[in-house]
Structure 1
Amino acid sequence: MNLKPGFTIRISVFAFVLAANACQHVPVQAADPIAKMQVDAVTTRQADWGYWGPNPKTYSSWKTHSNRLIPVYTFGIDLNAVSGENSLYRDAAAIEKLYGFLPDKTHNPEAEYFDQTDVYRLQKSAVESGKKRVILFVFDGMDWDTTRIAAIANSGKDYSEGRGEGLHFLDYRGTTTDYGYCVTSPRVDGTSVSVDKQTVINPEGKVRGGYDAKLGGNSPWEPPTDADYLIGKSKQTKHAYAESSATATSLTCGIKTYNDAMNVDFVGREAMPIARTLQQDGFAIGVVSSVPISHATPGCAYANNVHRSDYQDLTRDLVGRPSIYHPGGLPGVDVLIGGGWGINPKKDGGQGKNFVPGNKYIAADDLAAIDVENGGKYVVAQRTDGMAGPEVLSTAVQQAIKDQNRLFGFFGAQGGHLPYQTADGNYDPVVSYGNAKPAKAEAYSEADLHENVKLDEMAVAALNVLDARSDQWWLMIEAGEVDWANHSNNIDNSIGAVLSGDEAFAAVVAWIEQNGGWNDTALILTADHGHYFNLNRPEAFMQAASE
């Protein structure tokens, strides 16, 4: 991969703007219209085409998650058992059983939406119906609005409701497919824990979860009647909004829990993720992510912990090493490929007393112990100086298949995630929105691009190794940088991240069609939660798509 012409010039211009804290137009190459739209919006703090947060008068007024309803797309199975008349939100007793209490204004006899925990039940029922291959594909932070803007930018076509069109996962019809949307609210927010003792201090937290459709909308495309409701600031009904580990726990364990919990219930008791249940029945297990290997979503594929920030211990669970929650160790996954390489702090208070200085996500002793070169179970593929990432990964895949070993892949650039693909398909981000001012754009070296892999390559590698290990397997794939882009209020990065994930979906579908088809396969594509982008003028992105 080569840097886009003009890349160095663009970065120097943005550095000058940041240093001067200017709020004037910054020139961007005409060939990259969405990058220009992002830069103009950040420097002027306004955009007529859209904004982030509840305040339409400024481009950025909210930089974290929201309680929007989240899309769910299924392939090889449908949603009939959980949506519409079968929605648990039509049954007050079912809601109370799920949350442990009946949340205010949450019972809705006309609900078409279902709950995020139903995604767990869909996976379970798929296996019970005879499916031997289950894929949970999570676009972290991708709500309906994020999907729509990426689809418009990709295809030049707009839609205002429903499933939409313009991306591979929206358009694919090669098997039974369905579309719906779910509630992502946690059980509670504001819980305190002790990582060292692995205990929950105040299980009831500070704010309870729930979903008030009259304020938040009955569908993802229905505007909220109270813009502050979705971020937990309504004066009418206040519900906790989602964060990634509680929502990932819903996807993998089928329970509501507190924000920051990793596969534990509201008092810290172990919850069994479906991957471990299936592993006991002979399934091979794989986890792939474009962000660090033990972040909330990939960590919840397999591990347990009272807090999401205990990264090294979460990785220990994933690779079968003794951890603070499992001193005897878990069996470990068959495939783990993700980011986190090169992030080496000396201290990390969030990880407790047993944090080992060095890599934030896997301790050096653990990495050495799992390597087949030292008698471990994993062929290790790391980002390597001067070597092409795809070649490093491919060689490891071939060795793992040949010798019937497991596979561990470890890559990443700054921040630990894979390089951002931008809306134009290149890897040249522009300024994001920081704390009330522009934030420096990420800049990638030739080595960052050459030595890393892409999500589609990681996904196919995992599929090949899993299929060689068993005719039954479960795989989580996470397009994690969508969430990171949305936290930065960066529409260029957000679109690019969705497109990167969509490319991975297309690669997975091609693999399925070439390896036995859909009779034995179920794929569920969804997000863990939403953000708060609002699109005012879709034609701006339609025009950008045509340029």
Structure 2
Amino acid sequence: MKRHVWKGVGLTGSAAALVVATSVPAAAGGVPAAPHGPENVIVLIGDGMGYNQISQASLYAHGTSYTEVVSDGEGGVREVRGTPTEVYESFPVQVDMQTFPEGGSYDPQRAWTDFDYVAEGATDSAAAGTAMASGTKTTNGALGVDAQGNPVENLSERAIAQGKSAGVVSSVPYSHATPAAYVAHEADRNNYHEIADQELASELSVVMGAGHPYFDDSHERLDEPEYGYMSEESYEALAAGETDWSYIEEASDFEDLASGETPERVFGIPQVGSTLQQGRAGDSDEPYGDPLNDVPSLATMTAGALNVLDENPDGFSLMVEGGAIDWSGHANDSARNIEETLEFNEAVETVTDWVEENSSWRETLVIVTADHETGYLEGADANPDWTALTGQAGEVPNVSWNSTNHTNMLVPVFAQGAGAKELGRLADMTDPVRGAYLDNTDLANLFLEDFWADRSGNGNGNGNAHGHGHGHGRGQGHGHGNR
């Protein structure tokens, strides 16, 4: 890895071609051999970000959308591709991903012949995060454990076992499901204090997320602290410098972290309650119609995390979550959903800039995806058919929200860099509209079983025979309840 200090905070062209399998020698477990796996992996997860969340934000920002699904009026459905405007829409590998939890399923025929089908059987973020981080399906609400409650190794732990560094960054609380899935092992995702203690006791180098006990969602200081996401004892020890973490909370601290010298380990909690921006006061129907909180952006936090992790010459694993896309989806709030998706897009741009200025696509793999879709966002008057989202730049598109919960629809996966083609080859299932898709467990298993596999025979794995087949059960999943 190149040793540069990070100083930063679309590609153009036609839609990238789908990567198809070629005659590549297969490694154990059916995964194509990758003689030069990535030194670094950066996974960016837009929580609740389906294709149409991307389109809604792109229409507002650029007046264009990249991928739409439309009915032909005769019972058929097709995908229409437009001009890519976001940096990841020009990544060379573009496939789809099924997201259901243990006991669930995805039927590609029913998904497009029964409008209500995908509104049921959805995963929650804990089960989806566990699958993406550990390669193991689990039940909704469970975090870092399999369906029987046994702890499973995650990508951060494997990276650390191989001498690499690891970190998690989120726009929602650090102990919430998605960042926690890359660190903790807990039967109940709502055990925030226990999860935070596991994060504090972990060997990660970076943990960042909202959830400051002394501030509300509008960056206003509370009369009395609320220790919802970390116990008072643990927080006071962290803030007082009584742990081996360097603690930061001021916006300027996060900005400083993005350049210059860095501490070995950073635990950052911006001065805000549950989200960086989504939960702030105001009810404007227009994006940015309400004053923004004076807190670091997700992009700034990401830049700081990269500057810390980059100090390890052996590489790193980083998960960045745009968590409040999901929260605004639950609220069916288009204005805040657009804000959060654009905030996530800026974090992706920060990552791609870092790769090109401080690393290279030969040593770093960047994956942009979602854990599930939230809100069943479609074009106006979509139910019972599918219509494209339309709109002009600077205007909120006219859309329909068809749920206040998660859905079981496929989500996008965009990948570029070392190992991207191998990931694309795992998309061995076919949806009649979206095309090739993989399972959410494939994201971690490609590393755990191949790229970063334990070749020593010491058994660093979690003991589960993951495999790469897709027979994960065909019964419908259960309700999700949690974000």
Taking the aligned partners of 1:409 and 1:154, their CA distance within structure 2 comes to 30
Aligned residues of 1:149 and 1:538 also touching (Cα < 8 A): no
Taking the aligned partners of 1:530 and 1:455, their CA distance within structure 2 comes to 20
Pairing 1:325-364 to 2, within 5 Å after superposition: 331-342=202-213, 358-364=226-232
- Partner residue, 1:178: 93
- 1:98-137, Cα deviation, whole Å (9 max, x unpaired): xxxxxxxxxxxxxxxxxxxx9xx89xx87x7331110010
Alignment equivalent of 2:346, drawn from 487, 490, 503:
503
Aligned residues of 1:290 and 1:339 also touching (Cα < 8 A): yes
Cα pair distance change 1:148/1:395, threshold 3 Å:
closer
- Partner residue, 2:147: 266
Aligned residues of 1:156 and 1:546 also touching (Cα < 8 A): no
Aligned residues of 1:248 and 1:300 also touching (Cα < 8 A): yes
- Partner residue, 2:159: 278
- Partner residue, 1:367: 235
Structure 1 residue 269, shift from structure 2 partner? 0.6
Count of aligned pairs between the two proteins: 351
Structure 1 residue 225, shift from structure 2 partner? 1.6
Alignment equivalent of 2:107, drawn from 212, 219, 225:
212
Pairing 1:113-512 to 2, within 5 Å after superposition: 129-159=36-66, 160=68, 161=79, 164-172=82-90, 177-187=92-102, 208-216=103-111, 224-232=112-120, 240-320=121-201, 331-342=202-213, 358-370=226-238, 374-383=241-250, 389=251, 391-395=252-256, 401=262, 404-414=263-273, 416-420=274-278, 429-430=283-284, 449-450=293-294, 452-512=295-355
Taking the aligned partners of 1:81 and 1:479, their CA distance within structure 2 comes to 31
Structure 1 residue 277, shift from structure 2 partner? 1.2
Q: Which amino acid aligns with 1:380?
A: Y
Q: Which amino acid aligns with 1:182?
A: M
Taking the aligned partners of 1:172 and 1:442, their CA distance within structure 2 comes to 27
The structure with the largest alpha-carbon Rg is: 1
Q: Greater RCO between the two (CA within 8 Å, min separation 6)? A: 2
Cα pair distance change 1:231/1:284, threshold 3 Å:
same
SS in 2 for 1:541: coil
Taking the aligned partners of 2:126 and 2:214, their CA distance within structure 1 comes to 21
Taking the aligned partners of 1:309 and 1:521, their CA distance within structure 2 comes to 33
- Partner residue, 1:199: none
Cα pair distance change 1:278/1:164, threshold 3 Å:
farther
1:533 aligns with 2:451: no
- Partner residue, 1:522: 365
- 1:344-398, Cα deviation, whole Å (9 max, x unpaired): 89xxxxxxxxxxx942112232234445x63522111114xxxxx1x12234567
Aligned residues of 2:52 and 2:389 also touching (Cα < 8 A): no
Cα pair distance change 1:163/1:365, threshold 3 Å:
farther
Taking the aligned partners of 2:299 and 2:215, their CA distance within structure 1 comes to 26
Higher helix share: 1
SS in 2 for 1:474: strand
Taking the aligned partners of 1:502 and 1:421, their CA distance within structure 2 comes to 19
Taking the aligned partners of 1:150 and 1:136, their CA distance within structure 2 comes to 21
- 1:249-307, Cα deviation, whole Å (9 max, x unpaired): 11001111101110111110111111101111111011000000011100001110001
Cα pair distance change 1:454/1:163, threshold 3 Å:
farther
- Partner residue, 1:64: none
Cα pair distance change 1:155/1:397, threshold 3 Å:
closer
- 1:150-171, Cα deviation, whole Å (9 max, x unpaired): 2222221245336654542344
SS in 1 for 2:93: strand
SS in 1 for 2:109: helix
SS in 2 for 1:148: helix
Taking the aligned partners of 1:79 and 1:366, their CA distance within structure 2 comes to 47
Structure 1 residue 545, shift from structure 2 partner? 4.8
SS in 1 for 2:317: strand
Cα pair distance change 1:539/1:489, threshold 3 Å:
closer
Q: Which amino acid aligns with 1:281?
A: Q
Taking the aligned partners of 1:283 and 1:79, their CA distance within structure 2 comes to 29
Taking the aligned partners of 1:81 and 1:368, their CA distance within structure 2 comes to 53
Q: Which amino acid aligns with 1:168?
A: E
Cα pair distance change 1:289/1:539, threshold 3 Å:
closer
SS in 1 for 2:319: strand
Structure 1 residue 309, shift from structure 2 partner? 0.4
Cα pair distance change 1:396/1:479, threshold 3 Å:
same
Cα pair distance change 1:408/1:539, threshold 3 Å:
closer
SS in 2 for 1:418: coil
Aligned residues of 1:185 and 1:241 also touching (Cα < 8 A): yes
**Alignment gaps of 5+ in structure 1:** 1-77, 87-93, 95-117, 188-207, 217-223, 233-239, 321-330, 346-356, 384-388, 433-440
Aligned residues of 1:285 and 1:333 also touching (Cα < 8 A): yes
Cα pair distance change 1:397/1:297, threshold 3 Å:
same
Cα pair distance change 1:506/1:421, threshold 3 Å:
farther
Q: Which amino acid aligns with 1:449?
A: N
Cα pair distance change 1:146/1:405, threshold 3 Å:
same
Cα pair distance change 1:182/1:397, threshold 3 Å:
closer
Taking the aligned partners of 1:340 and 1:541, their CA distance within structure 2 comes to 35
Aligned residues of 1:337 and 1:408 also touching (Cα < 8 A): yes
Q: Which amino acid aligns with 1:150?
A: A
Cα pair distance change 1:398/1:514, threshold 3 Å:
closer
Taking the aligned partners of 2:50 and 2:245, their CA distance within structure 1 comes to 35
Structure 1 residue 546, shift from structure 2 partner? 11
User: RMSD in angstroms over aligned alpha carbons?
Assistant: 3.5
Q: Which amino acid aligns with 2:86?
A: H
- Partner residue, 1:62: none
Pairing 1:91-106 to 2, within 5 Å after superposition: none
Cα pair distance change 1:278/1:163, threshold 3 Å:
farther
Q: Which amino acid aligns with 1:526?
A: T
Q: Which amino acid aligns with 2:243?
A: G
